Structure 1
């Protein structure tokens, strides 16, 4: 019996060690080959350019930032040329800018981040819920922890198609991505868990308009874009077209048309690489360009939500991985149909970052963004880690199965060896 107990405990220990080894190896990228030697900026830049050029389609703006300065830029297009001043539709990367606009209201004393947002709203209110609505605060909306279950993702509206009003979209979006509920409502206890919500950012857009008393795009230009020198940035598609918008390509590299959105705060800021360089500078520690007092600036990149026990979200920003010098790599990705993908990622302490804006190149921005995070930190970023969970889960179960089978074989052999031999 004692030997069986020891074997049982050894089996549990082996299973625990395999789980810990698999978790560490997955998050630390032990079996992942980096695209360039750590610290070799020139090598990372050149391999990134090779990856961009190998696609041979679409339009791309790529900027690599090192210690607060531009190390290199690369621009390609299968149509009209693009430059650092060409505007791209940023998709959900827009949420980061919107978050800064919300935080500016808090900095000006016009918004309590922890008060119910219903206190500020007159044009639309969240429907009643078994969980109530008083726990829905700006802080929780920014971090996707307000308990909203819309699951949006917006597809947008084709040119010539009537666009919903913001209030109608909040009630039920006519353009949800597949799998989204589309109704902005409280379906989970506020503060209980993380659940991505485009509807939450539509609600923040309404909040900005209600508090400021002006259209969302006008407020953002006055309070965020102009102070940061983001001269081209706009939430107005017509303004973007006039200023010079990158050609739109679908995933096959064919020309397409940009879509309009009922909630541009969540999905359709238009900005150039030059605009985003200035935007990232405002989030670099010690740059002197922040629009926020230090406490609020720090709050944006502090953990406010976690998944699998790992911090994943601040206020308006993803937390991709722990940064080498402390804190986190922050930023945001974006994906709009038909094939728009963007990312901007930053180590606020060192001033190192990457900007990737693309049309017609599905997954290119996220892939290179993930390569940069791994190259800079030696850790797998949260978006890549999330995609690896199914494979890691299979490896976990397979390893446990091997351990259990080995333990069963040992038990059978031991019993056979201990059984009386027949005469």
Structure 2
């Protein structure tokens, strides 16, 4: 459901802060910008930015940016995001339990608070689908990781939604050395090179990570609001297998 509006940031309800103040007009030469705020899959609240100023960074974390990208895809293809992703990504990769639909047809888990209580309504529904609305499970996420690992290391294109060139672009650092196009990356140019993303919606926490050169990876999904537990499990996996 849409995030509540109130005394906090318009669109997410967080406490107002300097990053979210809107400035329009002003004296000649004064910085002019608008910051777009959206709750996003990563769980980094309220820092999605869209600047109207050449002096601002060329790349920043932006859940709102993915909402705009969603609308671009929908307008270009004439399909809702859920249908487009089913056709172009999930079906080719065998991800049968993944969907961007608001109410997918497969069984859904109920989210829980840190205290263990089921959250109201069992789960929130997010119309800003590209940023916060993916339903999936660990098997499907691991199918995605396996595909990206193979597409990265293959000598040419393999069957699937991305060409080798697109995969390389996706997982290669841009202006910021720790960010690819949609993933966080580390260890570029080494056997420990990896890409990762975490997830944080109310009542749910997650993380997945892939190591293309090692042909390895993992995915952890929890229907509880305790990211510390997810990080502890991830740390244990990396320790057992000797992964960075």
TM-score by length of 1: 0.43
| Structure having greater relative contact order (Cα 8 Å, sep ≥ 6) | 1
Counterparts of 1:154-173 in structure 2 under 5 Å? 154=40
Q: 1:253, CA displacement in angstroms?
A: 0.8
Q: Within the alignment, does 1:225 sit opposite 2:101 as a pair?
A: no
Query: How far apart, in 1, do the equivalents of 2:194 and 2:34 lie?
Result: 26
Q: 1:373, CA displacement in angstroms?
A: 5.0
Task: Compare the two structures and name the one with the higher helix fraction.
Answer: 1
Alpha-carbon spacing, 1:279–1:179, altered in 2? closer, same or farther (3 Å): closer
Q: 1:340, CA displacement in angstroms?
A: 0.9
Corresponding residue number in structure 2 for 1:152: 38
* Residues 39-95 of structure 1: CA deviation (Å, up to 9, x unaligned): xxxxxxxxxxxxxxxxxxxxxxxxxxxxxxxxxxxxxxxxxxxxxxxxxxxxxxxxx
* Residues 273-313 of structure 1: CA deviation (Å, up to 9, x unaligned): 2211211111013474542221111111111142xxxx211
Corresponding residue number in structure 2 for 1:344: 208
* Residues 251-275 of structure 1: CA deviation (Å, up to 9, x unaligned): 2111122111121110111012221
Corresponding residue number in structure 1 for 2:67: 202
Tell whether the 8 Å contact from 2:111 to 2:123 is kept in structure 1 after alignment: yes
* Residues 180-213 of structure 1: CA deviation (Å, up to 9, x unaligned): 278x742553872543211101001011111111
Q: 1:346, CA displacement in angstroms?
A: 0.5
Q: Which has the larger radius of gyration?
A: 1
TM-score by length of 2: 0.72
Q: Within the alignment, does 1:253 sit opposite 2:116 as a pair?
A: yes
Query: How far apart, in 1, do the equivalents of 2:137 and 2:97 lie?
Result: 7
Alpha-carbon spacing, 1:323–1:148, altered in 2? closer, same or farther (3 Å): farther
Tell whether the 8 Å contact from 1:341 to 1:358 is kept in structure 2 after alignment: yes
Corresponding residue number in structure 1 for 2:18: none
Residues matched between the structures, number: 207
Which residue, 138, 149, 167 being the options, matches 1:284? 149
Query: How far apart, in 1, do the equivalents of 2:35 and 2:236 lie?
Result: 31
